[in-house]
Structure 1
Amino acid sequence: MTHLKSLRARRANSVFAAAAATALTLGISVPAAASTSSEPASESTQESQNAEPGSTPTEEPAEETGTASDTEPGDHPSGESDDTSADGGNPSDTSADGAARAQSEAGDEAEEKPADEYYPELAKKLFKKGEGHYQVPAPAAGGKPAGKVPAGLEAYYSQKIDWSADSCAAMGLPDYSEEIGRPAECGYMIAPIDAKNPEKGNIAIAVQRVKAGKLEEAEGGGVKFTPNSKPKGSVLYNPGGPGGSGMMFATWQAWDQPELAEDFDMIGFDPRGVGASMPFSECATDQQQDASRDLNPWKDGRDKAEEVFNTDTKKYADACFENTGKLFGLDAEGRKDLIKHLGTWDAVGDMDILRSVVGDEKLNYVGWSYGTSLGYRYAQKYGDSVGKLVLDGVVDPGDAEAVKALKAINARSDRFADLGDTVAQENSTGAGDKAGAGTGKTAKASEKIDLDGLTEDQKDTVNQGAGFQDTFEQFAKDCAAKDREGKTYGELWPDAFGETPLADQKFTCALGESDDPKVLSDNNAKLLQTLETADGGKGLPTGNPDDQRRITFSVGRLGEFQALYSTSLWPRLNYALNELKAGKSAGQLLILADMYDGRDESGHYDPSGAAFTNIRCTDSNSAHEPKDDAKLAQVRKFAEAYDAAAPFQRASVSPAGYDTCDFWKFKGTLPKAKQLTKVPNILVVSTSHDPATPYAAGVKMAQLIDGSLLSVAGNDHTSYQAAGGCVSDTVNTFLSKGRVPRDGDFGEKLDKPDTAKDHNGKTVNLPNKCKMQTFRTDGFTLSTSKAHVGSEVGFKVTHLDSEADYVLKIGDKTYAFTTDNGGNFAGVFSVPEGLKAGSTVEVAIVDAQGKKVGSAGLEILSKDKPRKDGPEAGGTTEGKDKPGDKGGDKPGDKPGDKGGKTPTDNAEGESKPLPRTGADVAGILAAAALLLAAGSAMAVNGRRKGRH
């Protein structure tokens, strides 16, 4: 899943209009009313996707009509390359990679190309050691480290990057210096393959930087740029995937968010194994991927389809281990070890090195889609170094046992188990059969989808299918409503079609005029299924004499998924479905599928698809499980569950396609999700009808980490950048000042209120574009309400300001302490002498400005009256700091150890950032256990933090 896919889609209408115009000249008709009853609807499997998911082109893929890929007005700089490596998680794929990836003999017939043909010129210049051999050197000395530096990695954290604009060109990136007023700079950062064993060798991480400064209109035209000599730091970006390139996001954010870029350097990067980073992931050849798309075994039944797809999937997995890193002098074991370190857990280590190299003590970061996983895992691994994190379009973090023990929240992944009204009606083919049996019948509206026995990853994939179903229904109902308006394309979308041959053509919805989502889903599935048997199973032609490829069911379905990533592609999708209904060609669906897969006009597939596979399977896989009858039954159940969750995309059979990761050569390396510690407030953005990352996952994440949730009404995948207005204002203010709005609705008033379901099944109402809900509260607790003078009393503060100095006051005594990065501290104080027995005294927490932020009453006991709770009654104070200690990390402490004070880099005179956390630190949890055991803990002055 990637923000890049939706970002690209939102600027594609001008391309579509041109393509549609050309299609008309080629005689591709768009009928006003084609039959929707081509074939009986029945179930399919998401696993059948032939093409390697997640790939997107460095430039907009050439369209079969031969049109250019212009940028839509108002988007990024004109002429911008679509440097969009795509998303991951093939939504229509049970194998999640697309089970069909042909290792066919077609590749043998193609002209042999140099193995490094697609390597960046900069990589060839810096790392090539001879024909067919590359090596990444040690990091260059000369930099100055910032923040925490893990022992043994000092050379990496203090390296100097050779930044230059020429390096951007040598990486194949376009120059937008005229648009943004200054050139972007690029270079390679060196990181160890294995941070625990740096002697194994190095990899190179491609990075881009756009320096902070003010951008203004210049007299006489153009722009004027004034550099900021004292920026607040940097913001790092990742668009998702896994496998998405983030290099150009430095430039795009400088263009889209000039006010934020006035105070911060913009940093883009390609994670290890991705894009211009070396070595990047390599699996199947372009010819093999084309051949995979041609696989269309649906008409031969489930068993044959399983045989075809599973054989192809295994070959694809083997190709990843054969080709990734092959030119870097690595033997089979070396390549296997390299792939073992291409996962998310190692990638966040590179983010921490980059944080230090660019001079930031804390990481400020925006992650979209899978990029939210990078942000979450960074916080899990490097909690002390977290600055301001924004997670937009959350990938479900999974269950966290530590959090479940503390919070009564629903952390299960099967929250969409009851999909009732999204499940399609029974059809004649499956009459009398059980739902989900691969016979063409879908579950009844009153039935729940059975997810018992599925893995968490499979449940998440089913949930994603439900998200796409929800977005499809939004599209279909909008399509039917526009049909009833009786308007032309030009009237409905004047900017996109006003000057094209489509301007005067009446808009006709390919799915009919019904408002019933079941009928619309069934009509859509029947249309797609015509591709299973078209021309004897070969599929339909493109309609373009210069492109002899065929559109199979899997390719057509993939094209539809691409269009659902953004509302800007909805008219294009309807046009494509009308072409399909005419039954002569399906070129428009192929254009969309190429956009998804990143296939360019030369036939080259962006390698982000291979990166998606390497990263996802390295993170988690079930390769250790036997592929026996029980496994086959489980995979079939998964395929059937997906089709029940997303009936609009089902095929005529639901073959059990093994996941590419089922053929991986080692167990997954990603640790289990767990309670975050010492982490400041994290801003989570979740869109009500996000097709790829369901809204509920964002609510769950925000609760799990005690963060702030920005709910956004909309149908696109992710919202920051896309939605603008209240979304951009909220995110940019948070990044700049650490503040979020007060809880409640704000932003543009909607014509019709929107609704969404959270992870507990509760309805969330959205009368406005934006809604804020903060799950973070601060607090102050004592281990007892009664104590003798001279005794020790435990206390805990939570979610105050990050790494800030405070004082505990009781009587005439004060005790100083410093919170950790999450604003937490647990310690003990001695009740001073001289306090009157029988009186109740105030224990107060005061900040550095003298403001009281918390207080509690403590009754002073007479000496002859025993106290039965807390440390004085035999409880332990071990593990708690006494006030006056800094209570924090010493140099050399590992991330996740008891946190301490690290200088922050706030601008002079600026208020301290809003504290943000995942939960309490381990030491605080120990104190909390003590407080609960004492039986008299009292939370005082709990309040929400950081709203304007």
Structure 2
Amino acid sequence: MATSRLLRTSAAVLAATALLISGCSSGSSSPAGEASAGGTTEAGAQRPAADATLAPLPSSTPGNLRPYYDQKLSWHPCGVSGFECATMKAPLDYAKPDAGNDLKLAVARKKATGPGSRIGSLMVNPGGPGGSAIDYLRQYAPQPAAVRARYDMVAMDPRGVARSAPVECLSNKQMDSYTQIDQTPDSPAETTKLANAYRAFAKGCASRSGKLLPHVSTIEAARDMDVLRAVLGDAKLTYVGASYGTFLGATYAGLYPSRVGRMVLDGAMNPALDARTVNLDQTAGFNTAFTAFAADCIKHKDCPLGTKSTADADRQMSAFFKKLDAHPAATGQARKLTESLATTGVIAAMYDQRAWPVLREYLAQAKGGDGRGLLTLSDSYYERDPNGTYSNQMYANPAVNCVDLASAFRNPDQVRAALPSFRKASPVFGESFAWAAMNCAYWPVKPTGTTHRIEAKGAAPILVVGTTRDPATPYTWAKALAGQLSSATLLTYEGDGHTAYGRGSDCIDTAINTYLLDGTVPPKGKRCK
């Protein structure tokens, strides 16, 4: 069972396999420059417009927050050579700071290497929500060399994530069972079992992390970023955020527009959308990605989905999932490849076209009765290591999403009513995506966030990056965010996969690196292939 509204960079999935199901947190697909956040989705549903605009916080720091802004970090060598780590204190509740309830947030950096003068700190976040920024930094910091030379590369695991007061919900054994729950229920009994799994998950989070759950919102994480900016001694925040990291960065810009430095938002989200619209958009996005994969696959004689057409590949993929629903495939271990695990494995490969050859191989194996390969892809998505230990990403993800926005669906009846629109958005994934979107229905704390536009009036130029066939953050979201942000420029990558920076396009990388190094944004309407 994949967690609804999960976003991550493609690099994170590929790295985990050593080589989503639906994902995100909020997000309008209106064209750049339009005043309204309304419109229609690719599936034809009416898109709700957000009436509110995120208001900036006062420019002066409240006195009760001064101890956090004035703290000094104690850095020490850690992990890979050249990296330093520290712990930063942040209030559990910004409305009622209390030193006795402070959170300890993990921070890491790799100092500028030169040559050239140091520009400042560059903070990074890979998305999720729930992705470890520190782990991402360790992968990201070696490149690009020109940027690394001029910036101290910095990351902070957001509150509730990885090393920063992590949200916990289930034991590893319980998580194994949770990921295998049938997510395309065919009967009232199966529907009840799925709903009960969501209830048990939420109950586990409440019992293990109840005090933290109301305080892991994106707004609170953005406020933590401002504390870190000040503690690092930077007057403005320079930032590269990918996937959900774009929502986090845009939120920072909305709260602190005068403190925005150079900001790259790659694989952008749209904060003006409600959870149901987000999930429906993403269903269509993964359908676009799967169609691109199928079009490539049928060119190969060994394509396990045939060589006729993409429509035939859709039918064969759906039939294969249905077969696994009745008869899971062997994997050489106690866990078999169920329909839900296989769906997650296929979805994981949609994040990056470099995984397509691997997916072809693993699909062929699974159709022959060997599910080990697809199980490996599924495990990479869930961040489950070979010893059966899960990272906390799948716990932090719903914790953030469910407090940021109200649930897409409140009960199974609402899901059933929406199934036609989800199936239209994706004949292959629509049903499972629709049921996954119910995961916040039984959450133990009420959402504190709402849909809103982010304009960040007065902010320095912001660079929004969108990929035309991005599965997890559809290109329309990038256009919408660029249209909302008062100082944004949209950079377009015409291609496949999730996010664009550092994925092989010299055109994209040059444009972003130039912006980070000298502040020059690309020309309006610039497109790369």
Same fold (TM > 0.5):
yes
Query: Which residue in 2 is equivalent to 1:475?
Result: 293
| C-alpha displacement of 1:472 | 0.6
| C-alpha displacement of 1:657 | 6.5
Q: Does 1:161 align with 2:165?
A: no
Cα 1:700–1:655 change in 2 (3 A) is: closer
Query: Which residue in 2 is equivalent to 1:286?
Result: 172
Q: Distance in 2 between matches of 1:148 and 1:252?
A: 36
Q: Distance in 1 between matches of 2:491 and 2:437?
A: 37
Query: Which residue in 1 is equivalent to 2:417?
Result: 637
Query: Which residue in 2 is equivalent to 1:197?
Result: 96
Query: Which residue in 1 is equivalent to 2:203?
Result: 318
Cα 1:281–1:385 change in 2 (3 A) is: same
In structure 2, the gaps of 5 or more residues are 25-58
Q: Distance in 1 between matches of 2:366 and 2:298?
A: 17
Cα 1:251–1:315 change in 2 (3 A) is: closer
Q: Does 1:528 align with 2:346?
A: no
Q: Distance in 2 between matches of 1:650 and 1:250?
A: 34
**Structure 1 residue matching 2:345: 3-state secondary structure:** helix
| C-alpha displacement of 1:238 | 0.4
Matches within 5 A, 1:254-265: 254-265=141-152
Query: Which residue in 2 is equivalent to 1:663?
Result: 442
Matches within 5 A, 1:679-828: 679-706=459-486, 707-745=488-526, 768-769=528-529
Deviations 1:19-59 (A, max 9, x none): xxxxxxxxxxxxxxxxxxxxxxxxxxxxxxxxxxxxxxxxx
User: Do the aligned residues in 2 keep the contact of 1:622 with 1:667 (CA within 8 Å)?
Assistant: no
Q: Does 1:556 align with 2:442?
A: no
Query: Which residue in 2 is equivalent to 1:588?
Result: 373
User: Do the aligned residues in 2 keep the contact of 1:253 with 1:261 (CA within 8 Å)?
Assistant: no
Percent identity, please. 32
User: Do the aligned residues in 2 keep the contact of 1:148 with 1:385 (CA within 8 Å)?
Assistant: no
**Structure 2 residue matching 1:295: 3-state secondary structure:** coil
User: Do the aligned residues in 2 keep the contact of 1:235 with 1:265 (CA within 8 Å)?
Assistant: yes
**Structure 1 residue matching 2:303: 3-state secondary structure:** coil
For residue 319 of structure 1, what is the amino acid of its counterpart?
Answer: G
| C-alpha displacement of 1:575 | 1.0
Deviations 1:680-707 (A, max 9, x none): 2210000010111101110111111141
Q: Distance in 2 between matches of 1:394 and 1:650?
A: 22
User: Do the aligned residues in 2 keep the contact of 1:373 with 1:394 (CA within 8 Å)?
Assistant: yes
**Structure 1 residue matching 2:298: 3-state secondary structure:** helix
Q: Distance in 2 between matches of 1:671 and 1:548?
A: 42
| C-alpha displacement of 1:308 | 0.7
| C-alpha displacement of 1:251 | 3.5
Query: Which residue in 2 is equivalent to 1:812?
Result: none
TM-score after normalising by structure 1: 0.49
Query: Which residue in 1 is equivalent to 2:213?
Result: 339
| C-alpha displacement of 1:556 | 0.5
Query: Which residue in 2 is equivalent to 1:213?
Result: 113
For residue 185 of structure 1, what is the amino acid of its counterpart?
Answer: E
Query: Which residue in 2 is equivalent to 1:870?
Result: none
Cα 1:559–1:297 change in 2 (3 A) is: closer
Deviations 1:444-499 (A, max 9, x none): xxxxxxxxxxxx2111111101111111111111111133xxxxxxxxxxxxxxxx
**Structure 1 residue matching 2:93: 3-state secondary structure:** coil
Cα 1:647–1:247 change in 2 (3 A) is: same
Q: Distance in 2 between matches of 1:307 and 1:9?
A: 31
Deviations 1:743-783 (A, max 9, x none): 355xxxxxxxxxxxxxxxxxxxx6x52xxxxxxxxxxxxxx
1:395 to 269, 283, 287: 269
2:11 to 4, 7, 20: 7
Matches within 5 A, 1:73-222: 90-91=21-22, 149-165=61-77, 168-169=78-79, 175=80, 177=81, 183-199=82-98, 201-214=101-114
For residue 90 of structure 1, what is the amino acid of its counterpart?
Answer: I
Deviations 1:833-853 (A, max 9, x none): xxxxxxxxxxxxxxxxxxxxx
| C-alpha displacement of 1:397 | 1.7
**Structure 2 residue matching 1:481: 3-state secondary structure:** coil
**Structure 1 residue matching 2:133: 3-state secondary structure:** coil
User: Do the aligned residues in 2 keep the contact of 1:306 with 1:657 (CA within 8 Å)?
Assistant: no
User: Do the aligned residues in 1 keep the contact of 2:419 with 2:434 (CA within 8 Å)?
Assistant: yes
Query: Which residue in 1 is equivalent to 2:46?
Result: none
Matches within 5 A, 1:266-281: 266-277=153-164, 279-281=165-167
Q: Does 1:611 align with 2:365?
A: no
Cα 1:465–1:621 change in 2 (3 A) is: same
Cα 1:10–1:286 change in 2 (3 A) is: closer
**Structure 1 residue matching 2:134: 3-state secondary structure:** coil
Deviations 1:878-898 (A, max 9, x none): xxxxxxxxxxxxxxxxxxxxx
User: Do the aligned residues in 2 keep the contact of 1:388 with 1:735 (CA within 8 Å)?
Assistant: yes
Deviations 1:251-287 (A, max 9, x none): 433311111121111001100000111x210001110
| C-alpha displacement of 1:732 | 1.4
Larger Rg: 1
1:231 to 96, 103, 118: 118
2:358 to 551, 569, 572: 572
Relative to its length, the structure with more helix (as a share) is: 2
Q: Distance in 2 between matches of 1:297 and 1:265?
A: 44
| C-alpha displacement of 1:306 | 1.0
User: Do the aligned residues in 2 keep the contact of 1:567 with 1:716 (CA within 8 Å)?
Assistant: yes
| C-alpha displacement of 1:597 | 0.4
Matches within 5 A, 1:289-438: 289-296=175-182, 301-324=186-209, 335-336=210-211, 338-398=212-272
**Structure 2 residue matching 1:366: 3-state secondary structure:** strand
Q: Distance in 1 between matches of 2:433 and 2:259?
A: 46
**Structure 2 residue matching 1:713: 3-state secondary structure:** strand
| C-alpha displacement of 1:622 | 4.3
Deviations 1:332-360 (A, max 9, x none): xxx34x21111111100100000001110
Q: Distance in 2 between matches of 1:464 and 1:382?
A: 29
2:135 to 215, 227, 248: 248
**Structure 2 residue matching 1:90: 3-state secondary structure:** coil
2:312 to 481, 495, 519: 519
User: Do the aligned residues in 1 keep the contact of 2:514 with 2:520 (CA within 8 Å)?
Assistant: yes
| C-alpha displacement of 1:232 | 1.4
Query: Which residue in 2 is equivalent to 1:598?
Result: 383
Q: Distance in 2 between matches of 1:665 and 1:356?
A: 34
Q: Distance in 2 between matches of 1:374 and 1:654?
A: 24
Cα 1:194–1:379 change in 2 (3 A) is: same
**Structure 1 residue matching 2:510: 3-state secondary structure:** helix
TM-score after normalising by structure 2: 0.87
| C-alpha displacement of 1:650 | 5.5
| C-alpha displacement of 1:201 | 1.5
Deviations 1:134-166 (A, max 9, x none): xxxxxxxxxxxxx9634321111111111111x
TM-align CA RMSD: 2.4
Cα 1:250–1:554 change in 2 (3 A) is: closer
| C-alpha displacement of 1:589 | 0.8
Q: Distance in 1 between matches of 2:86 and 2:419?
A: 44
Q: Distance in 2 between matches of 1:655 and 1:373?
A: 23
Q: Distance in 2 between matches of 1:297 and 1:243?
A: 22
Deviations 1:47-83 (A, max 9, x none): xxxxxxxxxxxxx46xxxxxxx4xx6xxxxxxxxxxx
| C-alpha displacement of 1:3 | 7.1
Matched residue count: 488
User: Do the aligned residues in 2 keep the contact of 1:310 with 1:658 (CA within 8 Å)?
Assistant: no
